Structure 1
Amino acid sequence: MRTQQGALSGLKILDLTHSLAGPFCAQLLADHGADVIKVESLDGDFFRKNGPFAPEDQERHFGGLFQTCNRNKRGIAIDLKTTEGKYILLELVKQADGLIENFRSGVLERLGIGYDVLKAINPRLVYTTIRGFGDDVGGESPYKHWPAFDIVAQAMGGWMGATGPDADHPMKVGAGAGDTISGMFGAIGTVIALYHAKNTGVGQHVDIAMVDSILALSETVVSQYSYRGVSARPVGNGIPGLAPFDTFQASDGVIAIAAPHNPQFHLLCQLLGCPELIEKPEYANEQLRWDHYQQLNADLERYTRQYTKQALIEMLSGRVPFSPIFTGEDIFKDAHFAARGMLQEVEHPGCATPKKITGIPVKLSETPGSIRTRAPKLGEHTVGILHDLGWDDAKIQELQAKGILKIAS
């Protein structure tokens, strides 16, 4: 029977993360029904201050980036540097199934609330960390204490060295893949460990490194060096060994075509009106087409330039792997993303109209995920979360007066 609660309904996860990687990890669990409590300092996750902000938003509780990776969560703001603040966290840990954090290594240990302390009070706790170069569980990196952002993970994990127009101009991919990919691996690892804890009652430390996560998806970099001793080099928008597989100029913009296998290549040439390319000896098979990919791309582009993007859509779509290069505006207008629910409206504090954020890509037939609530204001659910612990209003107000809690107005 189809349910709207989500497959992870009943799980309680504490989210002590900031920026993008950790919040995205926790959000993936929240999307599928977990009760995720975002635990912030009294100043809040610094991503709150990052835009984009809508022109009419004068309140600025948080920007679009924060909204994108913190939906479906409840929020509490605590000063964890105080004895009372740490006590609140420990009380929450007693009831939690998992905790996710992405501070620099050793931060929570110095506060006296590291994993060893937490597992002593809740042996079934799954404790997930996402750091630039990981923790000690998976092997102590010599770079363990280095700070990292997305570009660092992409640079060191193999992507930038193989991405760009040429070796002198390495480039990162446009989105924050170093964060979101490590967040996805963090969510997968957390669910795996939660399944084990359910069966055994024993929790564990899930150790995710951002650079490891990028390397795990650097299949061409690893395979080329492992099998041939060759370091992958940038080849523009192509993939080594596959041609045609690139971007091409139309008369009014740019398109992408991927037709490396013989049947695809032959059909592409026929549709574009250049069947003579099929007969050229240097394009006779997949390896030869890759060996001569630059000339092949130039030959094909002489034909794609003769057509508009719309004409190419009508000519190629559904027949060979092809796409126009979509902008944000194109995505918001496209029928696919509308049909798949990949742009969802949420209320945004300070804005008169809802804003759209990305939808849920994992589609489940019986227990679909859902976007139930917007991202929380700082301390928005502090009172309710402490009520869940059995605390009364007088005690909560006392802690607020002492500057240990923040309660959103």
Structure 2
Amino acid sequence: MTASGPGPLHGIKVLDLTAMLAGPFTTMLLADLGADVVKVEPATGDRTRTVGPFREGDDPGEALGGYFQSVNRGKRSVVLDLKSSQGSARFLELVKVADVVVENFSAGVMERMGLGYEALAEVNPRIVYGALRGFGDARSGKSVYDSWPAFDVVAQAMGGFAGITGLVDGAPLKAGPGIGDIFPGTLLALGVLAAVRHAELTGEGQFVDIAMYDAVLALCERIVYQHSYLGIDPRPMGNGHPLLAPFDIMPTQDGWIAVAAPSNKHWRILTETMGRPELADDMRYADNADRIINVVEVRKILGEWLSERSTAQVVAALGGRVPIGPVNTASDIFADEHVRIREMLVDVEQPGSTEPVTIAGSPLKFSSTPAAVRGRGPKLGEQESEDILAQWVSDRQDESAPPMKGAENND
């Protein structure tokens, strides 16, 4: 199910020059919130258009791959060659009536085309310009890595995430999802919205800069204070936590489950459920600080109890009483009533097919202005830039028109 009602960003016009994951995730969030997001693509399109995956039987000339469909849903697409004088001129016409431009090119690309922030601000002083790069933009401080290209795995490594992820005494590991792209993209969406608010109040646009390295470091804030307070370099801890116990993902008879009972209240419920109520008052385990000191024994006690029960039995015994949850596969998630009720699995049209495809929904929920998937991803150049421009110019004229006489008295 896709949303038909306007979202909280209804009326906001976004020119999206991004490709791959990080930048498109930013503009996906804006589209879910109701902004009119127009992808400005070269004739070859966003590189993820050809990445897939594609379903067996889908029309290869029409179908949208999963990678592209997931983070470009609800957008429109025009084709412009920004390196040509005609394409650049057409883009600047759109900028004049846009609210936001978002790009994730390497540093200097937009400037070489004569389309950097300062050039766009000359034609539209209210424009909010969002940029996402591996190591940021020189306007906010020129990084020593300014010219380095970056992908998700590089950001996870340099920002500290991989260094604290993995088995105890094991090799560093990256996260399964592309958090080195997705978290920076989320922060850029937040920054863009803050700047849009400022522009609405003052008429002044601005440059919004997110570095993937910076964003992942912010995500790993714990290692900063640990190093400052304790002088240590935190290392991988498996599924445990350096400050909380029990706080782990452990095997059951037939799967894995997360158990977090660091509070004394939840620890007591857990020990009573295990048939070991005496552990709640045992001085070795009575408080979280004690359990951290004796975490090996805590894991052993809990692990033995879990290993004798199925995941379903553990969920039945502890669900709703102690923070626990099974390690779900995608199939488990598709079968979970929660994600359907919360509209976190959304079917969208697949061009060239009568069968829809399913993508992740929006986790942002509003009581009055829905944030939701607003349609499938666009075909390459599905819209004409002239049509977009005419619509946006008309919208701007309607917004600036004085109210009809007597309209203020209408209910």
What is the CA–CA distance in structure 2 between the aligned matches of 1:46 and 1:201, rounded to whole Å?
Answer: 35
TM-score, normalized by length of structure 2? 0.91
Equivalent residue, structure 2, for 1:346: 348
Alignment partner of 1:155 out of 157, 160, 163? 157
1:24, 1:184 within 8 Å by CA — same for their partners in 2? yes
Alignment partner of 1:193 out of 192, 195, 198? 195
- 1:164-203 aligned at under 5 Å gives the runs 164-203=166-205
Equivalent residue, structure 1, for 2:54: 53
Residue 308 of structure 1 and its aligned partner are, at CA, apart by 0.7
Residue 25 of structure 1 and its aligned partner are, at CA, apart by 0.3
What is the CA–CA distance in structure 1 between the aligned matches of 2:67 and 2:55, rounded to whole Å?
Answer: 12
- Computed over aligned residues only, the root mean square deviation of the Cα atoms, in angstroms, reads 1.8
What is the CA–CA distance in structure 1 between the aligned matches of 2:96 and 2:30, rounded to whole Å?
Answer: 19
Identity of aligned residues (%): 47
Residue 332 of structure 1 and its aligned partner are, at CA, apart by 0.6
Alignment partner of 1:206 out of 197, 205, 208? 208
Over residues 25-60 of structure 1, what are the superposed CA-to-partner deviations in whole Å (9 max), with x where a residue is unaligned? Answer: 011111111111100110000011112211112325
- 1:31-46 aligned at under 5 Å gives the runs 31-46=32-47
- 1:49-198 aligned at under 5 Å gives the runs 49-59=50-60, 61-198=63-200
Equivalent residue, structure 2, for 1:277: 279
Label 1:202 to 1:230 Cα distance change in 2 as closer, same or farther (>3 A).
same
What is the CA–CA distance in structure 2 between the aligned matches of 1:357 and 1:140, rounded to whole Å?
Answer: 38
The one-letter amino acid of 1:117's match is A
Mean Cα deviation higher: 145-154 or 59-68: 59-68
What is the CA–CA distance in structure 2 between the aligned matches of 1:375 and 1:143, rounded to whole Å?
Answer: 34
**Aligned residues, how many?**
390
Equivalent residue, structure 2, for 1:13: 14
What is the CA–CA distance in structure 2 between the aligned matches of 1:351 and 1:270, rounded to whole Å?
Answer: 55
Equivalent residue, structure 2, for 1:324: 326
2:97, 2:392 within 8 Å by CA — same for their partners in 1? no
What is the CA–CA distance in structure 1 between the aligned matches of 2:32 and 2:125, rounded to whole Å?
Answer: 26
1:15, 1:36 within 8 Å by CA — same for their partners in 2? yes
1:220, 1:232 within 8 Å by CA — same for their partners in 2? no
Could you list the runs of 5+ residues in structure 1 that have no partner in the other structure? 392-409
Residue 177 of structure 1 and its aligned partner are, at CA, apart by 0.7
1:123, 1:201 within 8 Å by CA — same for their partners in 2? yes
What is the CA–CA distance in structure 1 between the aligned matches of 2:385 and 2:201, rounded to whole Å?
Answer: 33
Alignment partner of 1:250 out of 249, 252, 274? 252
TM-score, normalized by length of structure 1? 0.92
Label 1:91 to 1:383 Cα distance change in 2 as closer, same or farther (>3 A).
closer
Equivalent residue, structure 1, for 2:404: none
Alignment partner of 1:364 out of 363, 366, 382? 366
Mean Cα deviation higher: 374-383 or 314-323: 374-383
The one-letter amino acid of 1:112's match is G
The one-letter amino acid of 2:268's match is H
2:94, 2:389 within 8 Å by CA — same for their partners in 1? no
The one-letter amino acid of 2:283's match is P
2:41, 2:78 within 8 Å by CA — same for their partners in 1? yes
Label 1:386 to 1:334 Cα distance change in 2 as closer, same or farther (>3 A).
closer
Residue 167 of structure 1 and its aligned partner are, at CA, apart by 4.2
Residue 390 of structure 1 and its aligned partner are, at CA, apart by 9.8
What is the CA–CA distance in structure 2 between the aligned matches of 1:111 and 1:8, rounded to whole Å?
Answer: 30
The one-letter amino acid of 2:86's match is E
Could you list the runs of 5+ residues in structure 2 that have no partner in the other structure? 394-411
Residue 78 of structure 1 and its aligned partner are, at CA, apart by 1.2
What is the CA–CA distance in structure 1 between the aligned matches of 2:163 and 2:190, rounded to whole Å?
Answer: 27
Residue 383 of structure 1 and its aligned partner are, at CA, apart by 5.8
What is the CA–CA distance in structure 2 between the aligned matches of 1:279 and 1:101, rounded to whole Å?
Answer: 57
Label 1:140 to 1:304 Cα distance change in 2 as closer, same or farther (>3 A).
same
The one-letter amino acid of 2:111's match is E
- Three-state SS of the structure 1 residue aligned to 2:145 is coil
2:42, 2:81 within 8 Å by CA — same for their partners in 1? yes
Label 1:119 to 1:381 Cα distance change in 2 as closer, same or farther (>3 A).
same
Over residues 305-355 of structure 1, what are the superposed CA-to-partner deviations in whole Å (9 max), with x where a residue is unaligned? Answer: 111111111100000000010000011110111111111110012333111
What is the CA–CA distance in structure 1 between the aligned matches of 2:317 and 2:391, rounded to whole Å?
Answer: 62
1:161, 1:167 within 8 Å by CA — same for their partners in 2? no
Equivalent residue, structure 1, for 2:221: 219
What is the CA–CA distance in structure 1 between the aligned matches of 2:336 and 2:139, rounded to whole Å?
Answer: 44
